[in-house]
Amino acid sequence: MALNSCTAALHLAMYSAGIEPGDEVITTAMTFCATVNAIIHCGAIPVLVDCDRATMNIKPEEIEKKITNKTRAILPVHFAGRCCDMDSIMDIARSRNLLVIEDCAHAVEAEYHGKKSGTFGDIGCFSFYVTKNIITGEGGMILTDNEGYAERIKVLGLHGMSKDAWKRFSDEGYKHYQVVDAGFKYNMTDMQAAIGVEQLKRIDSYWKARQEIWQRYNEAFNSLPCVLPAEPEKDTRHAYHLYTPLVDINKLGKSRDWVLDALTAENIGVGVHYMPIHLHPFYRKTYGWREGDFPNAEWIGERTLSLPLSAAVGDRDVADVVEAFTKVLAL
């Protein structure tokens, strides 16, 4: 079902699957805040797990250590477009009878061992926000192959009404609806959907363009003082959502923020994905998380930056980024 955002999809996924106040949901410390806020808005308790330094994805062996008798779900995030280790995660979930809800906001094109992202667990959530791989301005999608969840998602996604507007105002005349639950206003508009239908036709050409930029960056930055993104694993398809080199701050003798400022001065747009969740003031205050809790996420958080990566980044732009990053990181 098309929705107005991935945040809505994540919330609706957990709510429809029956996540309740007091339940624990395990996710990664290296993600966007929306992943964690959606857990909190179900009344559930977010339980963070550290990520791997190379893949930046949640570490399955750390998940096991965080499972308690309150754990209801695992919420993996396919970071930067690289699928998590879904074989291990699904094994853990099945043996412990846990739900798996995938955050596929970066990963609409991603595949792992022959399966598409969003189809491993119980429910998959996608984003078409303006920075994502395909866009509808604001927008999202929720996928499930569970008919019970699908039925609840349809009703809860639109006020809890038993019939949507298409069915209420059809040519056969007005039909009464009943409110069968206290639902949410999470629908995608027809205007967004019209953009999405056109965007879908370009999904492969956009992906190819990003893959080419990714490879050009990799070749150009090979000998700079930074760790390049890990190569995609065998039998997977990377969605190339973010290009995230890690600055070797020791070798360079400068902080990542210094590099950001220097790139900004060179007129290069940069981002940071992400400062780890547990270091933001709200979560620190609410859950007592502190520095040192998730060392790999912190290690990445101090070094990571995102360089321009989109089909709209042309040949000249790539050359500009290469020149600026090489200049800034020159020893």
Ligand X SMILES: *Cc1c(COP(=O)(O)O)cnc(C)c1O
Annotated catalytic sites, by residue?
Answer: 132
* 54-83 binders of ligand X (CB under 6 A): 77
Residue choice 11, 72, 106, 159 for contact with ligand X (CB under 6 A): 106
* 108-167 binders of ligand X (CB under 6 A): 127, 129, 140
Residue choice 5, 55, 117, 144 for contact with ligand X (CB under 6 A): 5
| Residue whose CB is less far from ligand X, 31 or 296 | 31
Residue choice 2, 19, 29, 32 for contact with ligand X (CB under 6 A): 32
Secondary structure (3-state) at 249: helix
Neighbours of 34 (CB within 10 A): 20
Residue choice 23, 50, 103, 122 for contact with ligand X (CB under 6 A): 103
Q: For 188, which DSSP code?
A: P
CA geometry: angle 294, 7, 154, nearest 5 deg: 135
Residue indicated by tokens 């029956």: 18
Secondary structure (3-state) at 170: strand
User: For residue 196, what are the contacts with CB-CB under 8 A and spacing of at least 6?
Assistant: 2, 128, 134, 136, 139, 188
Are the C-beta atoms of residues 104 and 126 closer than 8 Å to each other? yes
* Contact flag: residue 47 with ligand X (CB under 6 A): no
Which one of 98-106, 217-225, 247-255, 288-296 is the stretch in contact with ligand X (CB under 6 A)? 98-106
* Contact flag: residue 304 with ligand X (CB under 6 A): no
Two tokens, residue 30: 């290296």
* Contact flag: residue 6 with ligand X (CB under 6 A): yes
Which one of 48-56, 99-107, 203-211, 263-271 is the stretch in contact with ligand X (CB under 6 A)? 99-107
* Contact flag: residue 105 with ligand X (CB under 6 A): yes
**DSSP secondary structure, 257-308, as one string:** HHHHHHHHHTT---B-S---GGGSHHHHHHH---TTSSHHHHHHHHHB-BB-
Residue 138 CB, nearest distance to ligand X (Å)? 7
* Contact flag: residue 184 with ligand X (CB under 6 A): no
The residues that touch ligand X, with contacts defined as CB under 6 A, are 5-7, 31-32, 34-35, 77, 103, 105-106, 127, 129, 140
